[in-house]
Amino acid sequence: MKEAAITQSPHAFVPKKDLTEQEREELYRTRLDESFRPYTVIDVITKVYHRSFEDDLKTYIGENPEEFKTTSDEWSVDRIWVNELRIIRPESVFGQPVEDFLVDIAVEAKIRLEETRRISAAFRNSYKLNLQLRLRYSFDLRPCHLECHFKGAVLDEKRCVRSLYPNALPVDRYLLPVMGAQDYEQLSRYIRIRYLPGTFAVDVPVDPETWIREMNLSLYYGAFPENGALGEYFFGFGTAEVLDEKTGKVRRQDINPGTIVLNMEVRDSRSMKNSTLAHEATHYYLGMYFFLLQKTHGHDYCSYMCKRYRENSTQDRTTPMEQMEIQANTFPRYLMIPESTGKAHAERLLAYYGGLRNLTNMQRLVDDMAEFYGTTKTMARSRLLDFGYNEVRGILRTANGNLVPSYLSTLSEHETYTISEADALKEYLRNADFRQVLNTGLYLYVPENGVYCRNDRKYLFFDQFHRPHLRTYAREHMGECCLVFREEYSNIIERFVNGVLLKTTGQGKGRKQVKYVGANGEAVTTKAGLQLRKQMEMQMREEAKFEKNFNDYTVELMDARKVTVGALAEATGLSDHTIKNMRNKADIMFPIQEIVAVCIALHLPPETSRRYIRISPSKLLKSVDMKLYEYALTQWYLQPLPVVNRLLVEAGAQPLTNLVDGYDENGIRVAN
**Is the separation of the CB atoms in 435 and 406 below 8 Å?**
no
Does 204 map to a domain?
A: yes
Q: Report the length, in residues, of the chain.
A: 672
Whether residue 615 is found in the same domain as residue 490: no
Q: What is the pLDDT of residue 620?
A: 83
**Are residues 189 and 166 part of one domain?**
no
Which of 140, 170, 200 is at the close of a domain? 170
pTM, to two decimals: 0.72
Model pLDDT, residue 535: 67
**Cα of 521 vs its chain's centroid, Å:** 23
Whether 200 and 302 map to the same domain: the answer is: yes
- Judge whether residue 471 has pLDDT over 90: yes
Same domain as 497, residue 404: yes
- Please state the rounded mean pLDDT for residues 493-505: 33
Please report whether residue 21 resides in a domain.
Answer: no
The SS3 of residue 375 is coil
Q: Indicate if 107 and 196 belong to the same structural domain.
A: no
Q: Same domain, yes or no, for 329 and 188?
A: yes
Selection from 220-234, 245-259, 343-357, 542-556 with the highest mean pLDDT: 343-357
Residue 366 lies in a domain: no
CA distance 462 to 372: 39
Q: Positive or negative, the Cα torsion across 142, 143, 145, 146?
A: positive
The CATH number that applies at residue 619 is 1.10.260.40
CA distance 243 to 221: 6
In a domain, 533, yes or no: no
Q: Which domain holds residue 157?
A: 39-170
Domain boundary among the residues 336, 353, 382 is at 336
Q: What digits encode the pLDDT tens for the residues 523-537?
A: 445 556 656 666 666
Instruction: Kindly report, residue by residue over 583-642, the tens digit of the pLDDT.
Output: 988 778 889 999 999 999 999 999 899 889 988 888 888 888 899 999 999 999 999 999
Do 214 and 145 share a structural domain? no
Burial of 305 (0-12, 13-18, 19+ CB in 10 A): middle
Q: Quick one: pLDDT at residue 39?
A: 86
CA pair distance 259, 216, nearest whole angstrom? 9
pLDDT in tens, 193-205: 999 998 877 889 9
Is residue 209 domain-shared with residue 317, that is, in the same domain? yes
Residues 420 and 318 in one domain: no
Among 74-88, 165-179, 632-646, the least confident range: 74-88
- What's the pLDDT score for residue 541? 59
Q: What confidence tier does 498 reach under pLDDT thresholds 50, 70, 90?
A: very low
Task: Write down the pLDDT at residue 3.
Answer: 35
In a domain, 633, yes or no: yes
Residue 355 lies in a domain: no
Distance CA 94, CA 162 (A): 10
Question: Could you tell me which residues are beta bridge partners of residue 663?
Answer: 669
Average pLDDT over residues 161-166: 94
pLDDT of 7 above 80: no
On average, the pLDDT of the chain sits at 83
pLDDT top residue among 63 and 101: 101
Mean pLDDT computed over 459-470:
89
Longest dimension (CA), the chain: 115
Q: Predicted confidence band at 181 (pLDDT cuts at 50, 70, 90)? A: confident
Return left, alpha or beta for 343; rule: phi > 0 is left, psi -120 to 50 is alpha, else beta: alpha
Last residue of a domain, one of 485, 506, 521: 521
Q: What's the domain count of the chain?
A: 4
Residues 323 and 186 in one domain: yes
At residue 531, the pLDDT reads: 66
Q: What pLDDT is stored for residue 79 in this prediction?
A: 82
- pLDDT at residue number 512: 60
- Both 268 and 294 in one domain: the answer is yes
- Tell whether 187 and 318 lie within a shared domain: yes
Give the E-state strand segments of 455-519 in sequence order: 460-462, 468-470, 484-490, 494-497, 500-503, 511-518
Closest CA to 379 of 328, 304, 319, 312: 328
